[in-house]
Structure 1
Amino acid sequence: MTAPVPHVDEALIARLRADLAAADFTVIGTSEVLGPLAAAALGREQPLPARRVAGASDAPAATLIRLFTLGDPVDVAEVERALPTLRLHGAIELGLVSEEGDGVVARCDVRPYASDDRHWWVASDLAEVATGTPVREDHVLGIGGASTTLAQWTIRRPVRTALDLGTGCGVQALHLGHHADEIVVTDLSERALAYARFNAALNECAWDVRSGSMLEPVAGQRFDLIVSNPPFVITPRSGDVPLFEYRDGGAAGDAVVAGLVRTVGEHLVPGGVAQFLGNWEVPSGSTWTERVGAWLEGTGLDAWVVQREVQDPAEYAETWSRDGGHHAGTADFDAMYAAWLDDFASRDVESIGFGVITLHRPETDRTPFVDLMDERGPVPPAMGDVAQVGLEARVWLAEHSDDEVLDIAWHATPDVTEERHTLPGSSDPSVIVARQGGGLGRVIRLTTVTAAYLSVADGGLTPRQAVGAIAGILDLDTAETEREVVAFVRDAAKDGLLVARTD
């Protein structure tokens, strides 16, 4: 039987909002209550330290942590003190809690969430850490690693219209509210949409909430920005594996993500951007760039895909067999593990990639660019700014000729350093690289020619001017030197190692 979900009552939700704020039930406030050790343990889904700390505190935030995060029974009097405006009867009426014996238990998870200087509250189904049992197939996730990854990578330029495709409980839509005038959210799960409506009301947001599969609810519509944390997990079509709605799109292999790549362009205005997460299979004898590149053929979209992680079939099976509260060594876990291995073997899958896909509809009639990068190193939390700069640079480079690139005065950004590696006893370096300190942390191997150009890339000379001097000093063909330098400038400029002089 489907578990109940909270319902929207504007008056009661206003009281709940006031009580949560008064209790300092915020990311900072709960961190201060728990302390670094318990907070870190809870982040690893180890509740015992948090339970010990919160149980010893009479702070309202501690009571709310015990109730809504840890799933512990709480005395009626403590709930009344923590929610003095809503009171227990109001929390029951909203569907947040119920009385069991002498105590009160939560029927859903409610927790604070923050990004930069913005903070919200997010309701979702109780996690396994609170229930102690595997989650149900219609489970609605709260704030997870995938949702925060997408939020960090999303370009935050102001837009008129935005779509959160597969919204779940509405995490991406909360972020969109600060730079989009109109927000549409969709999901196939009616349970997820109920939580999305509740979270919109709790955080005083106005969303157009629509039910349906993938892009069906927005047929005929176009948007400035589309974001999606889709059900991208590659799931065996087997009775041994739970078909969790939050991760399974109902298709074999990576077809859900492939289909989204091929169709999302129909819903972008010229200049519009789509960003989403995805998994892709790499069959034996192939590469991930061939796999994803084939999806992009004929879409007419610019594409920038950054592969962030690669797993072999066993690693992937272990990751997702544990998901939802299952544990290694149990019969259920082993059956799921085997089902994943059999599924991948049936398609001769050698590895599975994970990454961030950014698509852009060109505003001019030109050949779209395709940039497929493997960058697995650490990146700054606020990748949205980096993504915006990178996308704008790639669009500019696609719209300008090599001659135009050669006639711009470029300069290296302050975070770019040069490293030279020399073998013992040698007077000349065997390896020269340019290393980016921020952004994607790009490392570009330099030749004698490109190292010479980078050394004078201070905004004073154009590449064309520098090439003449470099070719003369090194006694090289000018045309060939020019081709080498312009290729380097394009590669470095797309990720911000080189920027155009603005004066």
Structure 2
Amino acid sequence: MTSRADAALVARLRSDLEACQFSVESLTELWGEQADAALFRGQRVPALRAIETVDSPLATLARAFILGLPVTIPDFTAAMPALGIDGAVALGLVDYAGSSDEAQWVVPRLDLRPYSFIDSHGAGEFFIASDLGELALGHAIPEHHVLGVGGASMTLSGLMVGDPVGTVLDLGTGCGIQALHAARHAQHIIATDISERALELAALNAELNGVPSIEFRLGSLFEPVSGESVDQVVSNPPFVITPRTEGVPAYEYRDGGMVGDALVASVIRGTASHLRPGGTAQMLGNWEYTQTADAFDRIAEWLEATGLDAWIIEREVQSVEQYAETWIRDGGTRSGTPEFDELYRAWLDDFEERGVTRVGFGYIALRKPVSGSPSLLRLERLDGPLGSSALGTTIAASFAANDWLVAVGDAIADARLTVSGDVTEERHYWPGAEDPTVMTLRQGGGFARSYPLDTAVAAVIGACDGELSIRAIVDAIAQLLEVDGVALLVETLPSIRELVFAGVLLPPQR
């Protein structure tokens, strides 16, 4: 999607960005950590104050592309000597403030910033171009807005399983950030979007970051890959639940055009039709709670006929009021204005009409079995702090643990397990007591789960050093507690299975 002339200009752009060290680290050093944190919250004044008297190419690019402010033509020319102003105009990065013959300033037309991360392949950094946000525009964003890297996209990139694969489908690519991440472990990426502008910016970002393995296709949901199958699907789909009411903006980057959470259900079913055996999918989604149905019951129905292994992790639940406020503000409409109140009423009317009381948000991990029927349907609520932002490794390990549990069956009693190195145990005592009143197992990494322990399970875990089988450990504990060993084994094994899936206990040679 990038012409040869554009490719040459993009190469010059990349050269200029690298020459002035346009990186996350350099920008943080330029204006300080507190100003950086304020920018993340959508406030630019601290950063602006920090660089008011700074005259450098880095400060010029920061003012233009991150703070969204005009810069003088001499300053911009000095900051971009290889690309030049005409090249930046040709790429759509800036425009002259007035006629090109008389202008003394250039104004930004795109947001362009560095983005750093750490995944299973190590540290990395991309340059990401997207549309100007509300801060730079000074008003609500338009419906065709192409979003840059935000909290949701960083969450999804962390969920992405990074095992080597052939083909990845990035469904609803937006600015292309997930496709760029996928290129670190996939031979080929198909990136789709309903927005031509999104695909243009995603192609620019692929060229800017030297990633040639992405194929861009225009179309809705799975239409661009009709009849094809892939090894992995990643998607931050346009799942936001928006009233289908006249006057309510339908932003392309977040609104799928369907009623309620039907878009998420559609993506799950479509994934089942396009995954190869052994293929996986990681995505984000919303789901509705109604007056008569729990969201998990509805999700289970979506999954029932797909033939997929499924793991749903709910991270947050909001009231319909909180949900409406969040997404109306996300579009740039400010609280306390007549426009905000009108949109707020439309959202609440829609939820009331359909009997929706709350909305959940979370992660969806799917896998197509290599053969046979699905062996995993797990729906859980984990709303505490996470032990890691890179959860793709955890997801892959848990799917592997599930396969081991299925294969070993009842013979797990004869397995020799070990405790993961990130696990700690807490014990709380009444003053002067010899025995603890509360015992809790805590996982340091992954989903940072905590498990309340009874005496028997705590003793079993404490003895899991790979030397003795679970059966032998339980028999020894039963003798100490003077209880029946067989009954104690039956009572203990469900907890052992759960801890294996969670990565607290590790099977042999994993």
Greater shift, 26-35 or 212-221, is seen at 26-35
2:101 match: none
User: Deviations along 1:307-359, whole A, 9 cap, x unmatched?
Assistant: 11111111101101111211110111111111111111122222211111000
Greater shift, 197-206 or 77-86, is seen at 197-206
Look up the equivalent residue of 1:401 and give its one-letter code: G
SS where residue 351 of structure 1 aligns?
A: strand
Q: In 2, Cα distance between the equivalents of 1:465 and 1:425? A: 33
Q: Is the 8 A contact 2:307 2:373 kept in 1?
A: no
In the TM superposition, what is the alpha-carbon distance from 1:17 to its structure 2 partner? 0.8
1:294 match: 301
2:6 match: 9
Greater shift, 67-76 or 81-90, is seen at 67-76
SS where residue 32 of structure 2 aligns?
A: helix
1:447 match: 454
1:35 match: 32
Q: In 1, Cα distance between the equivalents of 2:280 and 2:36? A: 36
Greater shift, 206-215 or 362-371, is seen at 362-371
In the TM superposition, what is the alpha-carbon distance from 1:7 to its structure 2 partner? 11
**Alignment of 1:122 onto 2:128:** yes
TM-score by length of structure 2 reads 0.94
Q: In 2, Cα distance between the equivalents of 1:458 and 1:228? A: 40
SS where residue 400 of structure 1 aligns?
A: helix
Greater shift, 125-134 or 277-286, is seen at 277-286
**Alignment of 1:160 onto 2:166:** yes
Q: In 2, Cα distance between the equivalents of 1:340 and 1:141? A: 22
1:334 match: 341
SS where residue 9 of structure 1 aligns?
A: helix
* Aligned pair partner of 2:394 in 379, 386, 400: 386
Look up the equivalent residue of 2:70 and give its one-letter code: P
Q: In 2, Cα distance between the equivalents of 1:232 and 1:437? A: 31
**Alignment of 1:146 onto 2:143:** no
Q: Is the 8 A contact 2:165 2:186 kept in 1?
A: yes
SS where residue 401 of structure 1 aligns?
A: helix
Percent identical among aligned pairs is 47
What is the number of residues matched between the two proteins? 498
Matches within 5 A, 1:199-214: 199-206=205-212, 207-214=214-221
Q: In 2, Cα distance between the equivalents of 1:241 and 1:481? A: 60
* Aligned pair partner of 2:47 in 43, 46, 50: 50
Q: Is the 8 A contact 1:6 1:195 kept in 2?
A: no
* Aligned pair partner of 2:500 in 487, 493, 501: 493
Matches within 5 A, 1:365-376: 365-376=372-383
2:105 match: 103
Matches within 5 A, 1:398-477: 398-403=406-411, 405-422=412-429, 428-477=435-484
1:395 match: 403
In the TM superposition, what is the alpha-carbon distance from 1:166 to its structure 2 partner? 0.2
Give the 3 Å change call, closer, same or farther, for CA 58–355 of structure 1 in structure 2: same
Q: Is the 8 A contact 1:55 1:66 kept in 2?
A: no
Give the 3 Å change call, closer, same or farther, for CA 6–293 of structure 1 in structure 2: farther
In the TM superposition, what is the alpha-carbon distance from 1:501 to its structure 2 partner? 3.4
Q: Structure 1, unaligned stretches of length 5 or more?
A: none
* Aligned pair partner of 2:183 in 166, 177, 186: 177
In the TM superposition, what is the alpha-carbon distance from 1:423 to its structure 2 partner? 5.2
Q: Is the 8 A contact 1:7 1:198 kept in 2?
A: no
Q: Is the 8 A contact 2:276 2:368 kept in 1?
A: yes
Look up the equivalent residue of 1:218 and give its one-letter code: V
Q: Is the 8 A contact 1:55 1:62 kept in 2?
A: no
TM-score by length of structure 1 reads 0.95
Q: In 2, Cα distance between the equivalents of 1:398 and 1:321? A: 46
Greater shift, 418-427 or 103-112, is seen at 418-427
SS where residue 441 of structure 2 aligns?
A: strand
In the TM superposition, what is the alpha-carbon distance from 1:217 to its structure 2 partner? 0.6
In the TM superposition, what is the alpha-carbon distance from 1:24 to its structure 2 partner? 0.7
1:257 match: 264
User: Deviations along 1:94-153, whole A, 9 cap, x unmatched?
Assistant: 221111132100111111112232111111110111111100000000111110110111
In the TM superposition, what is the alpha-carbon distance from 1:283 to its structure 2 partner? 1.2
Q: Structure 2, unaligned stretches of length 5 or more?
A: 99-103
Give the 3 Å change call, closer, same or farther, for CA 31–234 of structure 1 in structure 2: same
In the TM superposition, what is the alpha-carbon distance from 1:209 to its structure 2 partner? 0.4
In the TM superposition, what is the alpha-carbon distance from 1:239 to its structure 2 partner? 2.1
Q: In 2, Cα distance between the equivalents of 1:455 and 1:97? A: 62
SS where residue 311 of structure 2 aligns?
A: strand
Q: In 1, Cα distance between the equivalents of 2:380 and 2:4? A: 44
Look up the equivalent residue of 2:241 and give its one-letter code: I
1:192 match: 198
Q: In 2, Cα distance between the equivalents of 1:167 and 1:465? A: 52
Give the 3 Å change call, closer, same or farther, for CA 147–118 of structure 1 in structure 2: same
